[in-house]
Structure 1
């Protein structure tokens, strides 16, 4: 395996990581901004108010996106195993 192939595998792994984690991160960001806006509008300064809605939203998103995430990780693993079997 050459250096270029190793870099290709690493780049593919990084892109797979971004594809798998992006939905959860985006939902967490949106929920956090909405709750921060709600806190600013109502002047409620409770620090723990953000955690429960954000955890629930991320958990629901994870349940909904689990087939997509599994398919992405499985596809990456198949590509890596194919590279190992073919030797390059």
Structure 2
């Protein structure tokens, strides 16, 4: 395997990581922003007010996007396995 192929596999791995993590990070950002605005408007500074809703919403997002994440990771794994077979 040449250096170009190794860099290509690394680039693809980073891209898969970003595609899998982006939905969860985006939802966490939006929920955090909404909760921060709510806290600023009501002047409630309770720690559980930020933690519990984020935990619930992020868990639901992971469940909702699990098929997409599984398909993305499966495609990447197949690509890696095809490259391993091509080496032999």
TM range (shorter): over 0.9
Alignment partner, residue 11 of structure 1: 11
Corresponding residue of 1:64: 64
The TM-score normalised by the length of structure 2 is 0.97
Partner of 1:87 in structure 2?
A: 87
Ranges in structure 1 where 5+ consecutive residues have no aligned partner? none
Q: CA RMSD in A?
A: 1.1
Q: Is it true that 1:44 corresponds to 2:44 in the alignment?
A: yes
Offset at residue 69 of structure 1 (A): 0.2
Query: Post-superposition shift, 1:47?
Result: 2.2
Moved more, 34-43 or 47-56: 47-56
In 2, Cα distance between the equivalents of 1:71 and 1:47? 36
Q: Distance in 2 between matches of 1:85 and 1:74?
A: 16
Distance 1:48 1:29 in 2: 17
Measured in 2, the distance between the counterparts of 1:58 and 1:47 equals 17
